[in-house]
Each structure stands twice: as structure tokens, then as C-alpha cells.
């Protein structure tokens, strides 16, 4: 008889990946030029992984070729790097029109879910304090959801029913996991971020100081909102993977899956953060 794997069997690999990877990422993101290059590389890898998550085709000959997958990555990178907003909107709309004509629905979805958020990442990546804050909140939201969800599954206590639409997207998701994710992300915003900024003497902008003010309630609301967006991003990717009958977007990160699996939670969170930055800057001009 085969021995059933423990739900914690991947934990050592997860911890090793974090211990090795996070200090490297921190060092890279602390340099503006390297930070931009980092997100360009991540964008390209995420686009490549996303191109493999097309819904399963009944006919094998309809599957995308390597060249078509590379084309999507190049298109996504090129559109995201348009420096002028009006030009970006023009090119994005034109690209969507052409892809609609070519019946590339998955690519259109990719432009919305990947290209637009990474264009935002390119801008925010020049602010180290904001970049590391967003990533820590969403990654700790992921970690909280994983740990609490797994502990609840083995606790024997009565489980909170999961809404049917969520269970349909990902049967492994649990309400306890969602609560753990919200707690992990919110706790990071309330407690971790101000301490890290202080301990490491990280330079901050006026906008950052307004968003991450000394007000506990404001940091709580910001962390909670970003955690909700992180969970939503994770659910969206889970839905895409389910349609493509794929468990992980890749295997490049031991214990974590692919690059998209690590950054899916940040895609909506970074858009929310950018919106809040615009609100703060707009109010400061009035």
C-alpha cells in the first residue's frame, strides 16, 4: 500500500525557497533600475506561463505553437511599456480588436489580467517602500490562507461552508483559509510594514507616508482591502487553471509552483494600490 503524503510535505521546500529567494528579491528591488528589470523579467515569465493555461482544446491541432506563445509574451511586454497613457490606451484597444478578429480570447484575457497590472508594477517598482509593502501583504495573505486552511482541514472542527461558486472554481479552498489570508495580510500591513520601514531606514515618499500613516485604523483598512484583492486574484487564476486542467502554472519555484502562482495575488492588489496613490496625489493638489 502506498503511503499517503502529508499535507505539510511541501513545507520544507516552501521555506527553503522563501529563505533563499526573499533576500535576493529584497536586494534587487532596493535598486530602481534592477527593480524595473526584475518586473520586466517576471512579466515575461508570467506571460509565458499564462500562454500554457488556455482552456483544453478538443482538437490537438488547435493548441498554440511555441511561436504563438512567444508572440503573446512580446505583445504583452510591448503594450505594457508604452510610456504615454493615451498611446497605451490606443494600442491596447487596437490590440484587443485584432485579437478579437483572430479569436484569441485567452490572449485578450491575458492583456487584462497580466499586461495592465504589470504596466502598473513598472511604475510602482521605482518606489521600493511601496513595492515591498505590496508584496509582503499579498504574500503573507497567501501564507496565512495556506496555513490556516490546512490546519482547519485536520482539526476536526465543524467547517464553515464554502459558497458554491468558490467550490466550483477550487474545491480545495476553505472559508477558514480565506479568514487566515485576510488576517495574515492585514496583520502585515498593521504591524510589519511600519516596523520594517523604521528598522531598515527605507526612504519613503509623501504619498507612501499618507497611505501608511500612523493611523492604525487606516493601515488596517488598507491591509484588509489589499488582502481581499489578493484573494480575488488567486481565485481568478484558480479558475483559469481549472479550465486548462492544470494544477500549477509552472514548477520553477520549489514548493510554490510557477512565477504566476506567486504573483497572481499581486495583480489586483497593485491596481488597487495605484488607484489609492492617484486619490492621495489628486487630493493633495486640491
- Averaged pLDDT, 12-21: 84
For position 251, what pLDDT does the model report? 76
Backbone φ and ψ of 102, nearest 5°: -85, 0
For position 1, what pLDDT does the model report? 45
Contacts with 31 (C-beta within 8 Å, 6 or more apart), sequence order: none
Between 135 and 243, where is the model more confident? 135
For position 247, what pLDDT does the model report? 82
Q: What is the pLDDT of residues 57-87, one digit of tens each?
A: 644 556 678 888 899 999 999 999 998 999 9
Residue 16 has pLDDT above 90, yes or no: no
Residue 265 has pLDDT above 90, yes or no: yes
Whole-angstrom distance, CA of residue 25 vs CA of residue 159:
37
Percent of the chain with pLDDT over 70: 94
Residue 143 has pLDDT above 80, yes or no: yes
Backbone φ and ψ of 184, nearest 5°: -65, -45
Residue 105 has pLDDT above 80, yes or no: yes
Percent of the chain with pLDDT over 90: 63
Residue 224 has pLDDT above 80, yes or no: yes
For position 172, what pLDDT does the model report? 81
For position 4, what pLDDT does the model report? 62
Region for 59 from its dihedrals, namely left if φ exceeds 0, alpha if ψ lies in -120 to 50, beta otherwise = beta
pLDDT category at 17 given cuts 50, 70, 90 is: confident
Task: Determine which of 11-15, 17-21, 159-163 has the lowest per-residue pLDDT on average.
Answer: 11-15
- Whole-number mean pLDDT of the chain? 89
Backbone φ and ψ of 201, nearest 5°: 50, 50
Residue 113 has pLDDT above 60, yes or no: yes
For position 62, what pLDDT does the model report? 61
DSSP conformation letters of 85-116: HHHHHHHHHHHHHHHHHTT-HHHHHHIIIIIH
Amino acid at each position: 500500500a502506498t503511503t499517503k503524503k502529508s499535507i505539510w510535505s511541501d513545507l520544507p521546500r516552501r521555506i527553503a525557497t522563501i529563505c533563499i529567494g526573499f533576500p535576493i528579491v529584497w536586494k534587487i528591488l532596493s535598486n530602481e533600475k534592477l527593480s524595473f528589470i526584475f518586473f520586466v523579467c517576471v512579466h515575461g515569465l508570467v506571460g509565458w506561463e499564462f500562454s500554457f493555461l488556455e482552456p483544453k482544446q478538443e482538437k490537438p491541432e488547435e493548441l498554440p505553437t511555441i511561436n504563438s506563445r512567444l508572440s503573446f509574451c512580446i505583445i504583452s511586454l510591448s503594450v505594457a511599456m508604452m510610456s504615454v497613457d493615451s498611446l497605451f490606451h490606443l494600442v491596447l484597444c487596437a490590440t484587443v480588436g485584432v485579437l478579437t478578429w483572430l479569436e484569441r480570447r485567452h490572449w485578450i484575457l491575458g492583456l487584462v489580467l497580466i499586461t495592465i497590472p504589470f504596466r502598473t508594477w513598472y511604475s510602482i517598482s521605482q518606489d521600493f517602500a511601496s513595492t515591498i509593502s505590496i508584496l509582503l501583504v499579498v504574500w503573507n495573505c497567501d501564507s496565512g490562507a495556506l496555513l490556516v486552511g490546512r490546519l482547519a482541514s485536520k482539526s476536526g472542527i465543524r467547517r464553515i461552508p464554502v459558497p458554491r461558486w468558490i467550490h466550483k472554481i477550487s474545491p480545495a479552498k476553505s472559508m477558514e483559509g480565506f479568514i487566515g489570508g485576510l488576517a495574515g495580510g492585514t496583520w502585515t500591513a498593521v504591524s510589519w510594514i511600519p516596523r520594517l520601514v523604521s528598522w531598515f531606514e527605507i526612504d519613503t515618499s509623501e504619498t507612501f507616508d499618507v497611505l501608511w500613516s500612523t493611523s492604525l485604523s487606516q493601515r488596517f483598512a488598507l491591509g484588509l482591502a489589499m488582502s481581499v484583492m489578493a484573494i480575488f486574484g488567486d481565485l481568478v487564476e484558480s479558475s483559469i487553471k481549472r479550465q486548462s486542467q492544470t494544477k500549477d502554472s509552472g514548477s520553477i519555484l520549489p514548493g510554490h509552483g510557477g512565477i504566476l502562482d506567486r504573483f497572481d495575488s499581486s495583480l489586483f492588489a497593485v491596481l488597487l494600490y495605484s488607484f489609492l496613490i492617484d486619490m492621495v496625489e489628486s487630493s493633495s493638489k486640491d
